[in-house]
Structure 1
Amino acid sequence: MSDCTSLELPFPHRRSPHQAGAAAHHRLWLDRHRQLTAGITEPAYEHWDVSELAAFCYPEAGPDELGLAADLLGFYFLFDDQFDTELGQHPAEVARICDRLCGITHGTAAFAATTPFGSSAPSTSPVPSASSAPPTPSATEHAFADLWRRSQRGMSARWRARAAYNWEWYFASHPAEAAGRAFAELPDRESYLVLRRGTAAMETLFDMIERLGHFEVPQSAFHHPVLRRLRQLAADIPSFSNDVRSYPLEAPRGDVYNLVMIVQQERGCPADEASAVVLAEAQLMINQFAELRLQLADVYNQLELDAAQRGAVQRYADGLAAWLAGYLRWEGRTGRYRAG
């Protein structure tokens, strides 16, 4: 397979000085939500280096914020991995799980508002026998409710609405991915991109740049074409690289939403050649990202942003670059994508 480390970035990765504290915090959080890790051994999980990913991707975050980042990243991995089992081939069951999690972000899951902060164990009280009684919240729901409450702290209603939408996009993409596994239908490139941009959860991760930094990007800049393009590139590049890394694990189990497989079908070529093509596309996107960053000064002038607004936009763009550099650095070191 082609080597993802061949990707060249015009900016270096950095590491937060608070990684050790985030790692200790994350271990305690996992202890409180231990049912999340039922499918993996502790040594194997430690080999993923989740706290290192947080430290690489959010190098400016303070100690408490980096702990939240580590918890979120751990949740993504553990939530996603449950669908690598037989469960992941049953779209209706996946939809049921994801709909209940979406309900937490939209305030329709009553327990999310009443569960004490940090609580993890599902309720052990008897469930009423009436057919209308809601199901007992799962360990996954309790863990996500905790993360959602912490993530909202100090943020505006506008940010919360956007974050809720992005979480819904992430969760609601999983049933379609499950259908792809169940029917083993290789998607075309456009369908792949639509679904991958949902299941990769990148928009939720980019929302956390603002949350962890305690600032918000002005609306006019957030939706400006330059920033939207920067965000899309920063989302797609790791997905392309990850597809190359994870291909040896995904191909045997029938996961079809992988760009290496799609390029193989497009070109009728072996996996090594398809991987090289995917990485070449990623490198082109990295170059585009660097060029777009140079246009931010023009955006500030065009939108007549004041000094504070310019500072917020620059912090966000720098956060996207930090995420990109940090993720690619971590991906080359983690044991998560190594077979065996």
Structure 2
Amino acid sequence: MRDMGMLGGVPWTEAFYDAADYGGFGPLTHPTASLDDLKHVNDWHTWGFYVSDAFRDGFLRPRNVAGGKAFVAALKSVLSGSLPSSNPAERGLADLVSRSTLDNEDQEHLVEFFDALLWELHNTAQGRVPDPIDLVEMRRRSIATELSAKLARKSVGAELPAELLRNSTMRALVDSFGDVPALRQEIVGFDHTYATAGSTTSAVLAVQQFFDCEVQQAVSVVADLIAARLRQIGSILGELPSIADEYGLDAEAKAGLSRYVEALKSWLAGELLWTQRSGRFSYSPVPTRKSFHRPSGLGTRSLSIQPQGRGQVTPTKSVSA
């Protein structure tokens, strides 16, 4: 990160980088990856966090639409093979592309990630709170769900047929996998985004406006949606043996499918622990990394928040998911 120029103070200082525990994200979400794979995976995820933070602080907060468009256009140019400028986001992407094997689908998903940033900027600049359904669908793109799932699959060496991965049930699995961290971070990051005028594309705010309810009720709805997605994942996992038979998978492919779904489960459990520990979502201008919470299984903890004065909320108790 230092070599790419990402720790120069805007948006990250070295102290903030350490408090956010970006270096701990990959090991927690990919516990069985080899060291080389882990370094590669963590670089991709940390670059994604950097781009999101740089875009929020540089363009979302000041409502700088022209600057945001130029930022995204430059990233797309790097993806197409253009040389990067001194911008750390461009340099980081160029470095990752140079040591990654990206197919057309990967490039499409990166473009979707970039476009989702602009979607959020346009909504925020117009003061528009999106429909909850639109927001959930776009959040999958803005956290690069497809790329995260593919990195998880590659990290465990799960080579699966393309037609199986396009199956509607497998697509639903990936969508639900992406919705859980996206919605959870919408809750814990509410102060860090909407309450500090960072964005109007908040799931909590969208639900509050759509149902004309209080903040706490909106949080409960979002937490219920997280719980529903976890239940859906559990239901899908029960269907996988029959799907494997339907596609005629041999023993090796079935083992790969098993490793893949276990990798997704580990990813979600690790992301939950990282979110609880990370200072990234702190309302404090000087965040600190929190100690690890007591052990908890996949989906057993979500966060409920109560209003703390005008426009500020804070985690108060756990609820069963």
* TM-score between the two structures when normalised by the length of structure 1: 0.77
Larger Rg: 1
Distance 1:269 1:251 in 2: 17
Contact 1:95/1:172, CA 8 A, preserved across alignment: no
Query: Contact 1:217 / 1:309 at 8 angstroms: preserved in 2?
Result: yes
Q: Deviations over 1:159-215 (max 9, x none)?
A: 622211111110121111111121111111222123212111111111212333344
Instruction: Specify every segment of 5 or more residues in structure 2 that has no aligned partner in the other structure, as ranges.
Output: 285-321
Size of the aligned set, in residue pairs, is 280
Report runs of 4+ in structure 1 exceeding 4 Å deviation. Answer: none
Secondary structure of residue in 2 paired with 1:186: coil
CA contact (8 A) 1:221 1:313 kept: no
The answer to whether 1:226 aligns with 2:169 is: yes
- The Cα of 1:54 is off from its aligned counterpart by 0.7
Contact 1:247–1:258 (8 Å) recurs in 2: yes
Matched, 1:43 2:15: yes
- How much does 1:311 deviate? 2.1
Aligned letter for 2:244? Y
Query: How many percent identity over aligned positions?
Result: 22
The equivalent residue for 1:9 is none
2:255 to 304, 311, 327: 311
- How far did residue 298 of structure 1 move? 0.3
The equivalent residue for 2:37 is 65
Determine if contact 1:217/1:316 at 8 Å carries over to the other structure.
no
- CA separation of 1:250/1:31 partners in 2, compared to 1, >3 Å: closer, same or farther? closer
Q: Could you say if the C-alpha distance between residues 319 and 289 of structure 1 is closer, same or farther in structure 2, counting changes exceeding 3 Å?
A: same
Query: What's the counterpart of residue 34 of structure 1?
Result: 5
Supply the AA of the counterpart residue of 1:99: A
Task: Give runs of aligned pairs for residues 99-110 of structure 1, distance below 5 A.
Answer: 99-105=73-79, 108-110=80-82
Partner of 2:57: 85
Matching residue within 95, 99, 102 for 2:69: 95
1:164 maps to 2:107? yes
**2 CA distance for matches of 1:177 and 1:103?**
21
Any conservation in 2 of the 1:173–1:199 contact (CA below 8 Å)?
A: yes
Alpha-carbon contact 1:37-1:78 (below 8 Å) kept: no
Q: Given that residues 92 and 175 in structure 1 are in contact (C-alpha distance below 8 angstroms), is that contact kept between their aligned partners in structure 2?
A: no
Q: How far 1:312 sits from its partner (Å)?
A: 2.2
Alignment of 1:1-340 (within 5 A): 30-35=1-6, 37-39=8-10, 40-88=12-60, 89-105=63-79, 108-111=80-83, 136=85, 138-152=87-101, 160-252=103-195, 253-340=197-284
1:119-150: CA deviation from partner (whole Å, max 9, x where unpaired) = xxx7xxxxxxxxxxxxx453321211111232
Hey, what's the Cα distance between the residues in 2 that align with 1:219 and 1:35? 36
Distance 1:294 1:215 in 2: 19
Residues of 2 paired with 1:62 and 1:305: CA distance? 26
Aligned-residue offset at 1:300? 0.8
Higher strand share: 2
Shift of 1:254: 4.5
Measured in 2, the distance between the counterparts of 1:84 and 1:225 equals 33
Which structure's relative contact order is higher, taking Cα pairs within 8 Å and 6+ residues apart?
1
SS of 1:85 mapped into structure 2: helix
Deviates more, 1:83-92 or 1:234-243: 83-92
| RMSD, matched Cα | 1.8
Preserved contact between residue 36 and residue 139 of structure 1 (Cα < 8 Å) = no
Contact 1:173 1:198 in 2 (8 A): yes
Compute the TM-score of the two structures, normalised by the length of structure 2. Answer: 0.82
Larger helix fraction of residues:
1
Q: CA deviation at 1:283?
A: 0.7
Secondary structure of 1:80's partner?
helix
Counterparts of 1:62 and 1:257, CA distance in 2: 37
